Amino acid sequence: MSGGYYSKCSCSRPVEWVKGKTVGSGSFGSVHLAMNKATGGLFVVKSAESDSGLQFLESEAEILESLDSPHVVKCIGKEMCGGKKLNLFIEYMAGGSLADVTQQFGGKLDEMVIRLYTREILLGLKYLHENGIVHSDLKCRNVLLSSSGDVKLADFGCSKRVKKHPNPIPLAGVAGSPLWMAPETLRNQGGLDCASDIWSLGCTIIEMATGNLPWAGKISNPVSAVLRIACSEDRPNFPSHFSQEGLDFLEKCLERDPRKRWKAEELLHHPFVNPESEEFAASSPASVLDRSIFPETDYSDESDEEDETPLRSPVPKPTTNRFFPFSILCENKFGVSEQHPRFGEHWSTSEEWITVRTS
């Protein structure tokens, strides 16, 4: 790969720039705030030096340079340093991630705000899916906000091109964050599909509404998580305080059969994000006591003790290395330290959950 900048990037590329403080990190490397010395404008630079980090950052650059949407973060350019380090320049979103915003406003968001953010996320997903791209790692930490409330999808290191595209990215392997992954993705069944992003959207809504990770209270360790999500008929707990529209919207997103899961375009007409829609009227329950319309769902926060004992094994504590074979999870060789026996007590943030990226 030669140095230089992508010609299709939509923002003015920085000719001279200075790196500021670290604002984040990922499985690829580090993220820094940066300043264009010619204009004083701020942007973000993502850097990678390891072979695996370069691979995923280069993949993200390839995806971003082909996109042009107000619902996706914009690429400013890239540069290679000595052939061993890649810097990817991306627009700066001053509001931070949805995860940051949720923490800063009481630990969970009001449903009115969730409706607004969900609609913006859906517009981004609709654009990606129409262009044959699956995001593959949708969660609050990968959705960014501007100071004016614009919502944009970010972090495309796990993204894949699917189906009818002249330059498809190989679909082998599993990529994403396990607690947000669709069941069929964890089973690596039938290849990657846009429906997996819709499942992740449902998990992201739960994250916004509760301030907890999806599956909180149900799963106590990574092995249990993977097996339960992939192989059971269960779903994460729905927010008990949600409106009828909100619960129905989650039903459409968290349908375990991907063939029955609603598409982004269909969900944009749902009254949860489109109050003028009349499609919900025919199926809306007359009261909260009318439960027959909705499949039986456990909305409690109680953990399932049956999954903990047989799946817990004396395995090493996870390292900071975020790249590992998915087979390790399936073979029950990857777990957590016994110092973290309960999901809700110690695993309160996604930072303690690894991002799976294998090829």
Supply angle C-alpha 322, 167, 87, rounded to 5: 45
Question: Is there a contact between 99 and 155 (Cβ–Cβ < 8 Å)?
Answer: no
C-alpha dihedral (329, 331, 333, 336), degrees to nearest 10: 40
Token digits for 173?
Answer: 């392997």
Provide the 3-class DSSP secondary structure of residue 74. coil
Structure tokens given for 316: 């090493």
Number of neighbours of residue 174 by Cβ within 10 angstroms: 23
Question: Is the distance from CB of 248 to CB of 283 less than 8 angstroms?
Answer: yes
Are the C-beta atoms of 47 and 32 separated by less than 8 Å?
yes
Sign of CA dihedral 160, 176, 218, 280: negative
Strands 17-25 and 143-145: unpaired
Distance CA(323)–CA(159), nearest Å, equals 16
Burial 74-90 (b: 16+ CB within 10 A, else e): bbbbbbeeeeebbbbbb
Q: What amino acid is encoded at 68 in this protein? A: D
Q: CB–CB of 356/176 below 8 Å?
A: yes
- The answer to whether residue 137 is catalytic is yes
Residue 232 structure tokens: 């059971």
Of 51, 100, 137, 290, catalytic = 137
**Which residue numbers are catalytic?**
137
